[in-house]
Every structure is written in C-alpha cells, then in structure tokens.
Amino acid sequence: MLRSRQKLKSPLAMQNLHRLNNKRILLGITGGIAAYKSAELVRHIRKAGAEVHVVMTPAACEFITPLTLQALSGNPVHTSMLDPKAEAGMGHIELAKWADAVLIAPASADFIARMTAGMGNDLLSTLCLVTNAPVYLAPAMNQGMWLDTATQKNCETLKDRGVTLFGPDEGYQACGDVGPGRMLDPEVILQHLVGHLESGLLAGKKVVITAGPTREAIDPVRYISNHSSGKMGFALAAAAAEAGATVTLIAGPVHLPTPERVQRVDVITARDMHTAAMEHTEGSDLFIGCAAVADYRPETIAESKIKKDPNSPDQTLDIKLVRNPDVVASVAAKDNRPFVIGFAAETHNVIEYAQDKLKRKKLDLIIANDVSDTSIGFNSEENAVTLVGADFEETLDKCSKRQLAGHLIELIAQQYNLQTSN
C-alpha cells in the first residue's frame, strides 16, 4: 500500500522554525518538473528568518526562471561557474564558504550520479565539492529511476559520505506513474532541515546592543567623549548573531566593521543613543547596554569655535554640564521591557558598585570590569569581567574580547532562559 504524501500535521510542527533564524542556506535546484516547488521552498525558508542564495543547473533553468527565484530570494541567482559578474562579486568559492547548509531540492538522478562520482562540471556540483557545510538532498525523479539499482547505490554512497536525504515521497507523478520518487512538499523539507541544523542559544530572539562611546559637542570642533573603542560591544553583537539572534547594534562613533548578520544603527550623542535604544527595543527580547555613554553634556553648544582669550590671566574656561538621559535605566523602566543587561566599568570596588547599579537601575544582569587595569578594557584586544545577577555571580578570566563575548552570550542566554521559563 502506498504511503500518503507527507504533510505538516498541525501548526505546532512549525514551532521550531526560529532555529533557521540568521542561517545561510544555499539552495541548489536541478532539472525536473519538481523545480516549481522550489519557489515555495525559498519563500518558506526566508519566512523562517534565513538568508537564501539559489544556484541553478542549466537544466533547472528550463523548468523555472532564475528571475522568479531572484525575486523570491532577494539575491542574485547563480547559474554559471564562469560568469565574470558572479565571480567579481560572490565567487563560487566564497559562496561555498558562505553557506551554513547546502540543500538541493529537487535533486535529480543525474545530479546524484555526478555528485557520487565527485564531478565538478557545473557550479552546483563544484560547490558541493568545495563546501564544508552539511549537504542535504531532496530527490525527485520518476519511480523507475529512483528504484534503479544504480540510483540506490549512489544514494547509499552519498549517505556513507555524510550527505542526508530528505525523502522521496510516494504518489502520483507528472509522467502518470505511481510510486516513490516525488519530491517532499516544501513545508516537510523545511521541517527536516530545521531538525538537522543545530539550534543557537538565542535562536529567534531579538537582541539590541549598544556599543562604543558617545560624543557631546562643546563647539563645532570640540567634544567630550571617552576611551571606549566599541570592540566589546561589537564582539557581543557578532556572538549573539552566531547564537541565532536577530541583532540590532546601536553604535557610537567608532571605526569598526559591522559584524556579519547584524543590523547597525549609527549615532553620535547620548540623546541619539537613547532615542535609538527606546525605538529598537520595542518588541525585543534582550538588551545589552555595552556603550560607554557620556553621563553629562554641555548645557549649550557654541555656534562657532571658542577662541582663547589672550588677555585672560588664568586661561580657564567654564563649561556648565547637564545630565544626559540614562539609556540602560530607561530601557529597564519600559512597559513590556526586555531582559536588560548593563555594564559597570569601574576603577575600584568593582563588584560592590556593580551590585549597587544592578539594584538601582533594576537590571537583570550586569557585567562588571575593572578599567583601571590597562591590559584590559578600553582600546584593548582582551578583557576580563564578572557577570553579576541578583543571586548569581561568575567571573570570566582574561581572554580575547571575541572569546569573552561568546562565553558571555552563553551565560546570558542561560540566565534569560531560566527567568523566562519560571
């Protein structure tokens, strides 16, 4: 008796799709009538929060146009290994390195045979040879081709090499035959993909991070600022994105490249940062206030450069300062606030001051570091901190800011999950 076509049993089957958030999926399409289903598959993958690049074989282009897949994926479609324009942009080697997973749907009998033989005579087969990402195949072919001994042996060989097959399904086929060989429905393929990809600790969460200094103008050429390089905040943004979060990085004036898979919002002053933080934390899950925000700003900004008075005997200049809004406290005071993590950069009594700040500003966690140690902190490539909560404290020893960020995101995710599960 033939198995019925596989369908999603209920909306609950879609509950883990957030695990694809921020993932990079390389979708390969080979020649076959099932190629029309690939358009729907692209739409579902993007809806799950992943980015998609599509690679088509020449035969696939006979069944569905690259323009259709380009419109649905939001990225150029790759069809030729020798395309000068493609190689000048994201070349085939970079494309292979870019992917978190390679999914080939439909995978024809011909492509499976060429992949088994280790051939690289088109872009898609070459990418499969080059990539270190896991490769998944959704076979689609006539039932006779699927049941043929050669196809079965090829599939077993690929499985032995670590390639995973999704399907095929059984049922009526375009040629009129009935039997195994149908490509699984796109929703089912997506569920299989979700089940095989490792879930990040913050998968599907919206995280907002502030980083760097702020600048408070005195006149058109002078300002008040601090020594923050933004490196710690940028490292945290990269680590959160790698953990599967959708990350918005609100950055003060720094000269750092934007981490991959991170949306960046540039600001200058503390008030700019406050406005951006209040806006972008709407609907967010976590907020990490890593920026070194200026506590004060000049009450008035001179319209022209302040000149030295050659007749002044003491050569002093009085500037009245007023308080800036407290960014992290404002976020913590919001209705439907996110899980809020602050920073305490102190020169002495570090843990004591951090605990006071945690309570006073009603934060969930605070990251304390000793900026009096010139080997860590501001402008350094390394740091050492203590993560402090109401009933939690863990010290992380000196290491690179990138390593430290990974450890911090792991601990923050654990504490966030503990709180939200209660």
Which residues carry out catalysis? 175
Is residue 399 annotated as involved in ligand binding?
Answer: no
The dihedral over CA atoms of 47, 48, 54, 56, expressed in degrees to the nearest 10, equals -90
CA 384, distance to chain mean position in Å, is 25
Distance set, CA 369 to CA 146, 253, 296, 348 (Å) = 61, 22, 21, 10
305 is in an annotated binding site: yes
138 is in an annotated binding site: no
Tokens of 207: 């995280």
Q: Is 295 annotated as a binding residue?
A: yes
Alpha carbon separation from 192 to 90, 133, 136, 166, 232 (Å, rounded): 28, 16, 10, 7, 36
The DSSP element (H or E) to which 102 belongs, if any, is strand 101-107
Q: List strand residue ranges (DSSP E) for 324-401, in order.
A: 339-346, 365-370, 382-389, 392-400
318 is in an annotated binding site: no
Q: Is 155 annotated as a binding residue?
A: no
* Contacts of 393 by beta carbon, 8 Å cutoff, 6+ apart: 351, 386, 387
CA distance 252 to 62: 50
Tell how far CA 121 is from the center of its chain.
Answer: 33
**How far is C-alpha 104 from the chain's CA centre?**
23
Is 325 annotated as contributing to ligand binding? yes
Q: Is 214 helix (H, G, I), strand (E, B) or coil?
A: coil
Q: Is 326 marked within a binding site?
A: yes
- Token pair belonging to 149: 């001994």
**How is 217-243 classified by DSSP, letter by letter?**
EEETTEEE-----SHHHHHHHHHHHHT
The answer to whether the annotation marks 159 as part of a ligand binding site is no
**Structure tokens that stand for 333 in this block:** 């005071």
DSSP, collapsed to helix, strand or coil, labels residue 303 as coil
- Other CB atoms within 10 Å distance of the CB of residue 279: 12
Tell me the HSE value of 224 on the side-chain side, using a 13 A CA sphere.
18
289 carries a ligand binding annotation: yes
Known binding site for CTP: residues? 289-291, 295, 305, 325-328, 343, 357, 361
Known binding site: residues? 289-291, 295, 305, 325-328, 343, 357, 361
